Amino acid sequence: MGSIYLIRHGQASFGADDYDVLSPIGIRQAEVLGAHLAELGLRLDRSVSGDLRRQQHTANAAMSRLSEAGIAVPPLEIDAAFNEFDADAVIRALLPDLLPEQPEALQVMRNAAQNRAEFQRLFALLIGRWLSGDYDQPGLQSWQGFVEQVQAGFARLLEKAERGQHIALFTSGGTITALLHLVTGVAPDKAFELNWQIVNTSLSCLKFRGSQVSLASFNSHVHLQLLKAPELITFR
């Protein structure tokens, strides 16, 4: 059987003007991941990423550590199907209808970095509405549309995959959530309960034989745990 390693990007710049940039911690996480893969002697046949900068930067930082260890690395393939859903667009579209129930929400969202716990609570409420399909709006990608995007990219990946290959897929938490939903059949709301637990640069492993795919492991971040540096274990 072949293996597909779903790797969430390193910590991005939450609360900054441009989220799609790895923070110094995110860069360190990616480097630690690459060193860990090198210690395992993992040889990748393919490396795939979405086209977001944080995804590609994570891939390049990790692969550079493999290369430094003398392990050949494949060229990075780019497929935008593995991009994250547009969380900002979801917030902008669905927040107004939430304000009568949560009048403080606008202030919290404007100062997310200073209100992380409350931001997460409100964001989860908005995601719940997005998943339901009852609040779909013109111009806003629906949950179903996002799943179809990811499914199309995954079908392309499997179509090109050869038997027994080891493939790294550098992507984002929402994309991994959609893949969990597609592979295991877990309900979207339950999949997002898992989403909130996905650590930056964690590995989840899918096993495949042809078009048959199963989940082998989820959210492993032992490479960070072994350093005994709690600041490296992040979720956004």
DSSP per position, 19-72? -SSB-HHHHHHHHHHHHHHHHHT---SEEEE-SSHHHHHHHHHHHHHHHHTT--
Per-residue confidence (pLDDT) for residue 116, from 0 to 100: 83
pLDDT given for residue 204 in this prediction: 98
Structure tokens at 180: 């969990």
CA angle 79/84/88 to nearest 5° reads: 140
The pLDDT, as a whole number, for residue 17 is 57
* CB of 10 closer than 8 Å to CB of 54: yes
Domain(s) labelled CATH 3.40.50.1240 in the chain stretch across: 2-84+163-231
| Average pLDDT of the residues in 188-193 | 94
Mean pLDDT of 42-47: 96
Report pLDDT for 209.
95
Q: How far apart are CA 24 and CA 122, in angstroms?
A: 27
Tokens of 216: 């082998």
Give CA–CA dist 233/25, Å, rounded. 9
pLDDT at 92 > cutoff 90? yes
Rounded to 5 degrees, what angle do the CA atoms 151, 10, 31 make? Answer: 120
Instruction: Give residue 99's pLDDT band: very low, low, confident or very high (50, 70, 90).
Output: very high
Give the mean model confidence (pLDDT) for residues 148-152.
Answer: 98
Hey, what CATH topology would domain 2-84+163-231 get? Rossmann fold (3.40.50)
Give the span between the Cα atoms of 12 and 24, in whole angstroms: 9
Q: Is the pLDDT of residue 14 over 70?
A: no
Residues 6+ away with beta carbon under 8 Å from 156: 79, 81
Sheet with 212-220, edge to edge strand ranges: 76-78, 46-49, 166-171, 2-8, 203-209, 212-220
- Which span out of 98-102, 189-193, 201-205 was modeled with the highest average pLDDT? 201-205
Average pLDDT over residues 103-107: 88
Percent of the chain as helix, strand, coil, to the nearest 5:
50, 15, 35
